[in-house]
Homo-oligomer: A and B are copies of this chain.
């Protein structure tokens, strides 16, 4: 396939802008799609062409497959980049694109479907002898069964409500003699909270870290990894701050993670960008969590430390080119941190849509800004609250942190509330500064512990 002439970007906000920038740098024309409320959005303004695909409701616009495909048709686009979210991990969309002759810039539909089914994905990995987060395969109905499974997993284990959430119906069990009591109380609590006493058993990882490996495969069967990202700063499984490299990963573990991620991608013949997510325990053991079949929000930290443009590489691979890099070309330099700037109250986390009356981006050495903000722009209430990403990089982690602190101080957004004050507090936390944090960090931090 020859290089694309025109790419339709089936997304909005900063990621749409990110893809348009990559296209411009490759000399490819771009089509933006937008909902009625986004008519004045930055991605619409910088694209070469633009098509309104529906009203504000994303089910009728950014996820409206017929209208998006029609938009590609009437503008003569030859490929679609889905960004992240919306249709990015919809295997049906990927399939339909290819069936109407549009190249979907991402993995094959079958891989999106396979990795979208988390149980299936873990099974695939387990077969390849890749360590997977351990647990019962489904509901555990009796204490006897729970005891048996826990013995296999090794203590501590977690008993979790199948219908659960928010920590209710959740028990951590350290020894077998605690299991019966905990099992019963978990069932009772689950019943009371959710009207369903189904529980399951999972291995309990103490203060784990969320580590992910960026991979990229081409259709010649080659796979390259681009180092890891540490995404342990999360709130309710929403990542807030990411860094690369991880402050706790030593070179042998990095090599091993890279090897396993390569194996995982190669096992299925994976093409284009993907991310293999792991839990890392305190002993540096790691366990496959899932694989994301898209470009991630946090891809810039990898771009910054590797010097490689992942989105351009996605486009090149989708056009049929082989990977531009071999594994030995990938060298990490310095450290990078990304802060996700969300339009939300920094204390209550309630969304804060509105009109941005004033905006000055941070700048200077070691600062990259991926943002769709401009003075006068509207942040609609209909979509994700992510409005900007600030990426700081430095020769050392300390320098990257100092630059991020400085950039957050410079960044000026008026008219909406943002979580910048929360980021500034995290960046001053002694545990964070030492790199000592797990996925439990942020909830405790917010609670003031």
Contact = CB atoms under 8 A, between A and B. Distances in A.
- Counting contact residues on chain A (CB < 8 A from B), the size range is 35 or more
A253 interface: no
A361 B363 contact: yes
A363 to B, nearest CB: 4
A303 interface: yes
Contacts of A367: 368
Interface stretch (A17-25, A50-58, A151-159): A17-25
Contacts of A333: 307, 333
Contact of A371 (B363, B374, B405): B363
A395 B308 contact: yes
Interface in A192-224: none
Contacts of A281: none
A374 B360 contact: yes
Contact of A25 (B361, B363, B399): B399
Nearest to A25: B402
A366 B375 CA distance: 23
A17 to B, nearest CB: 7
Contacts of A399: 25, 309
Interface string A303-341: 100011101000000000000000000000110000000
B406 A25 contact: yes
A368 B364 contact: yes
Interface in A377-400: 394-395, 399
A431 interface: no
Contact of A26 (B303, B307, B402): B402
Given A24-B406, A46-B410, A410-B46, A334 B307 contact: yes
Interface string A22-45: 101111000000000000000000
Contact of A361 (B24, B311, B361): B361
Contacts of A25: 399, 402-403, 405-406
B334 A364 contact: no
A358 interface: yes
A258 B245 CA distance: 32
Nearest to A364: B21
Interface string A402-435: 1101100110000000000000000000000000
Contact of A365 (B21, B361, B375, B394): B21
A26 B22 CA distance: 34
Contacts of A87: none
A230 to B, nearest CB: 20
A334 B25 CA distance: 16
B309 A406 contact: no
Contacts of A402: 24-27
A365 B406 contact: no
A369 interface: yes
Given A406-B25, A410-B46, A309 B366 contact: yes
A409 B48 CA distance: 12
A300 interface: yes
Contact of A395 (B24, B309, B311): B309
A405 B399 CA distance: 29
B307 A395 contact: yes
A370 interface: yes
B375 A364 contact: no
Contacts of A394: 309
Contacts of A26: 402
12 contacts: A17-B364, A21-B364, A21-B365, A24-B406, A25-B406, A46-B409, A307-B395, A309-B395, A363-B370, A364-B370, A368-B368, A375-B375
